[in-house]
């Protein structure tokens, strides 16, 4: 199994190719020869990403079938089903890297800001469940941000939400904590820019 450091480098390299409008021969082969997809899977990274249609996870990392174990949910929130999915992949396949991937102009973040400013009340209990999981990450920032409608405010809240999800994964599961403590799993945060296509990995993670 690929070590976390090497897996992270593969993701960096893949995003560079995506930004430069290049596709690796390995990725093309993976997409063309689907017969191999029936073999047991061995993804080298687990990605917890937002469901936003502008963030096609395999494409922005220039990866093919079987490379990534992708979990997508609005706002890249951490709930029991997401934790269980990550536990499954980490234990079942020995995957050593988890990336929590947020993105610019995130609708779930904007919806949460609207809720916190009482501009809009989300009557759907299902949508509120998403907002309520994002709220603790960004609520403490409200006093620090001058214009909550600005791109800067949304960007700061996106990053805060990613870091909160990273911390939840690191400390919200005994299985994941044990894997992290033994050096068999790393959890990092990242942000995808819809405008540029570039992914920034948070170095402090």
Domain residue extents for the chain:
4-201
pLDDT category, 32, cuts 50, 70, 90?
low
- For the record, the structure tokens of 45 come out as 């990274």
Residue 181 has pLDDT above 70, yes or no: yes
Q: Is 204 exposed, middle or buried (0-12, 13-18, 19+ CB in 10 A)?
A: exposed
Residue 13: CB atoms within 10 A of its CB come to: 13
pLDDT at 120: 61
DSSP 178-196: HHHHTTS-EEEEEEE-TTT
pLDDT at 23: 80
* Cα angle, residue 34 at apex, residues 29 and 39 outer, rounded to 5°: 105
Tell me the percentage of the chain whose pLDDT exceeds 90. Answer: 69
> Contact at 8 Å (CB) between 172 and 179?
no
The Cα 178–Cα 115 span in angstroms is: 36
Residue 166 has pLDDT above 80, yes or no: yes
Q: What tens digit of pLDDT does each residue of 49-81 get?
A: 999 999 999 999 999 989 999 999 999 999 999
Region 131-156 average pLDDT: 83
Q: What tens digit of pLDDT does each residue of 109-136 get?
A: 998 888 887 756 666 788 888 989 999 9
pLDDT at 40: 81
pLDDT at 144: 75
pTM of this structure? 0.90
Q: For the ranges 42-46, 64-68, 87-91, which has the lowest average pLDDT?
A: 64-68
Classify domain 4-201 at the CATH superfamily level: Carbonic anhydrase (3.40.1050.10)
Q: Which residue has the higher pLDDT, 150 or 196?
A: 196
Q: What tens digit of pLDDT does each residue of 186-198 get?
A: 999 999 999 999 9
Region 178-183 average pLDDT: 96
* Nearest CA among 18, 10, 19, 78 for reference residue 45: 10
Residue 184 has pLDDT above 70, yes or no: yes
- Helix, strand, or coil (residue 87): helix
Region 69-95 average pLDDT: 97
Region 85-96 average pLDDT: 97
């Amino acid at each position: 199994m690929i070590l976390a450091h090497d897996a992270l480098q593969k993701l960096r390299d893949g995003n560079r190719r995506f930004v430069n409008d290049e596709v690796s021969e390995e990725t093309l082969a993976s997409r063309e020869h689907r017969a191999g997809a029936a073999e047991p899977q061995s993804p080298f990274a687990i990605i917890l990403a937002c469901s936003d249609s502008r963030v096609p996870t395999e494409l922005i990392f220039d990866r093919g079938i079987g490379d990534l174990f992708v979990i997508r949910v609005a706002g890249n929130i951490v709930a029991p089903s997401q934790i269980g999915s990550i536990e499954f992949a980490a234990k079942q396949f020995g995957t050593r890297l988890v990336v929590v991937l947020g993105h610019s102009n995130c609708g779930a973040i904007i919806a949460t800001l609207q809720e916190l400013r009482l501009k809009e009340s989300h009557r759907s209990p299902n949508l509120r469940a998403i907002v309520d999981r994002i709220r603790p990450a960004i609520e403490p920032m409200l006093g620090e941000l001058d214009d909550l409608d600005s791109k800067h405010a949304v960007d700061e809240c996106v990053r805060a939400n990613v870091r909160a999800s990273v911390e939840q994964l690191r400390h919200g599961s005994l299985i994941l904590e044990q894997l992290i403590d033994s050096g068999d799993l790393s959890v990092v945060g990242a942000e995808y820019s819809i405008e540029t296509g570039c992914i920034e990995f948070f170095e402090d993670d």
